[in-house]
């Protein structure tokens, strides 16, 4: 197993390189980069100043007694080329694209992600600053979804086509049809100081003065803030996993080894958890990394916006809209690396659940 893990780790290097390279050149040729954004901002400021000066000049002309209509303001219509050159040099766009590409590769090999172009912090500092929110949403949401969906799916499989199976399927489909962000807005209206109750806070991960609270009050305050965001995140996450668990168990229960185990006099509980459970859980474990990654990074952007939680999902969205290239590529690199490591972890969990699986022998 050790050599398989080493091969997988080595395979991550070309995978990371390919993803970063493709995205780098796609972003570089796209219009509206950080230089264009900064120039547009500066021209916007100049335009505002130009309007003020023009209005002031017009007022002076109106107040003048000689009525000379030739008086007019003729300000600069654009930025000085030296200013544009300084902006390009600041963002590193004064160098050819291949030089910027190889410089970025070297920086990422040494895990130097640079500084944000528009935020007063390094990329690593921003990721560390936003990490607690994403860990909270991703970890607790994933745990709740798995702790609820797997037992529910097993019970649905054991009572297939019963009234319990029918009404729980109806509820799961209804929950899956509710968009998470829309449910978050409903929770805010109902329970966070909207039109009804003011039971939960609307923003932040913890309260002001959280550091001075006793340890047990810190825990309560943390979960008090996270209750509504987590509920909004998991509302549509039970359906797929619960139905996958049910169908996986139904498929295994119909196999010959289960009939043989029952014929040997094993109890139904022993057959279920000793023989069926191990085989049925393999496909569920296979989906764990993808579920965690989606909840950890991408599935909570609107939830973070609604509840004023500054997490990694919102950071990546802001970096994309602002064309903050160091943050964009830094977060992409970190997210991809974590996704690959979680994929390897999923393979290792296969061998824990079923020791008969040997990836090293198969490879």
- 288 Cβ neighbours under 8 A, 6+ residues apart: 142, 146, 342, 346, 349
Q: What is the pLDDT of residue 167?
A: 95
- For 33-37, 52-56, 64-68, which range has the lowest pLDDT when averaged over its residues? 64-68
Name the β-bridge partners of 198: 192
Q: Per-residue pLDDT tens for 258-283?
A: 888 888 888 888 888 877 887 887 77
Q: Which DSSP helix (H) or strand (E) runs through 175?
A: helix 163-176
220 versus 302: which is more confidently predicted? 220
Does position 68 have pLDDT exceeding 70, yes or no?
A: no
Which has the closest alpha carbon to 35: 78, 82, 94, 96? 94
What percent of the chain lies above the pLDDT cut of 70? 75
The correct CATH number of 123-362 out of 1.25.40.10, 1.10.3720.10, 3.40.1210.10, 1.20.1050.10 is 1.10.3720.10
Q: What is the pLDDT of residue 359?
A: 64
- Which long-range contacts (C-beta less than 8 Å, at least 24 apart) are formed by 72-80? 75/46, 75/50, 76/46, 78/43, 79/39, 79/42, 79/43, 79/46
Q: What is the pLDDT of residue 337?
A: 85
Q: What is the mean pLDDT of residues 16-35?
A: 81
Which has the closest alpha carbon to 46: 83, 82, 75? 75
Is residue 261 within 8 A of residue 288, CB to CB? The reply is: no
Which has the closest alpha carbon to 331: 346, 317, 345, 341? 317
268 versus 239: which is more confidently predicted? 239
Q: Per-residue pLDDT tens for 283-316?
A: 777 667 667 766 666 556 788 888 888 888 788 8
In the chain, CATH 1.10.3720.10 sits at 123-362
Is residue 194 within 8 A of residue 185, CB to CB? The reply is: no
CA distance 103 to 324: 17
Q: What is the mean pLDDT of residues 65-84?
A: 49
Q: What is the mean pLDDT of residues 55-68?
A: 50
- DSSP annotation of 146: H
Name the β-bridge partners of 122: 115
Q: What is the pLDDT of residue 166?
A: 93
Name the β-bridge partners of 192: 198
How does the average pLDDT of the chain come out, rounded?
79
CA distance 55 to 52: 5
Q: What is the pLDDT of residue 181?
A: 83
Confidence band for 41, pLDDT divided at 50, 70 and 90? low
Q: What is the mean pLDDT of residues 85-105?
A: 76
Does position 17 have pLDDT exceeding 50, yes or no?
A: yes
């Amino acid at each position: 197993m050790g050599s398989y893990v080493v091969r997988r780790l080595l395979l991550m290097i070309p995978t990371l390189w390919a993803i970063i390279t493709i995205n780098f050149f796609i972003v570089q040729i796209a219009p509206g980069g950080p230089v264009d954004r900064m120039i547009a901002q500066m021209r916007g400021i100049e335009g505002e100043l130009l309007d003020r000066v023009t209005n002031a000049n017009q007022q002076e002309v109106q107040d003048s007694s000689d009525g000379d209509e030739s008086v007019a303001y003729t300000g600069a219509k654009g930025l000085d080329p030296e200013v544009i050159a300084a902006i390009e040099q600041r963002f590193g766009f004064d160098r050819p694209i291949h030089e910027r590409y190889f410089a970025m590769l070297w920086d990422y090999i040494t895990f130097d992600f640079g500084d944000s172009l528009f935020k007063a912090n390094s990329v690593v500092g921003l990721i560390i600053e936003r990490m607690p929110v994403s860990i909270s949403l991703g970890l607790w949401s994933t745990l709740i979804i798995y702790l609820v969906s797997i037992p529910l799916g097993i019970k649905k499989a054991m009572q297939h086509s019963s009234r319990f199976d029918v009404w729980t399927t109806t509820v799961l489909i209804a929950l899956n049809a509710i968009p998470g962000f829309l449910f978050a807005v409903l929770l805010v209206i109902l329970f966070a100081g909207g039109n009804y109750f003011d039971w939960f806070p609307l923003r932040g991960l913890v309260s002001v003065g959280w550091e001075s609270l006793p340890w047990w009050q810190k825990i309560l305050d943390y979960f008090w803030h996270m209750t509504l965001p987590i509920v909004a995140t998991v509302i549509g996450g039970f359906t797929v996993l619960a139905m996958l668990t049910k169908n996986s168990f139904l498929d295994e229960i119909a196999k010959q080894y289960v009939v043989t185990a029952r014929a040997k006099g094993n109890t139904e509980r022993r057959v279920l958890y000793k023989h069926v459970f191990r085989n049925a859980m393999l496909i569920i474990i296979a989906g764990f990394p993808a579920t965690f990654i989606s909840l950890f990074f991408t599935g909570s952007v609107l939830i973070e916006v609604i509840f004023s939680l500054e997490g990694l999902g919102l950071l990546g969205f802001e970096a994309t809209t602002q064309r903050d290239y160091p943050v964009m590529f830094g977060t992409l690199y970190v997210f991809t690396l974590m996704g690959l490591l979680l994929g390897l972890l999923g393979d290792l969990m296969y061998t824990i659940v079923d020791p008969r699986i040997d990836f090293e022998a198969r490879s």
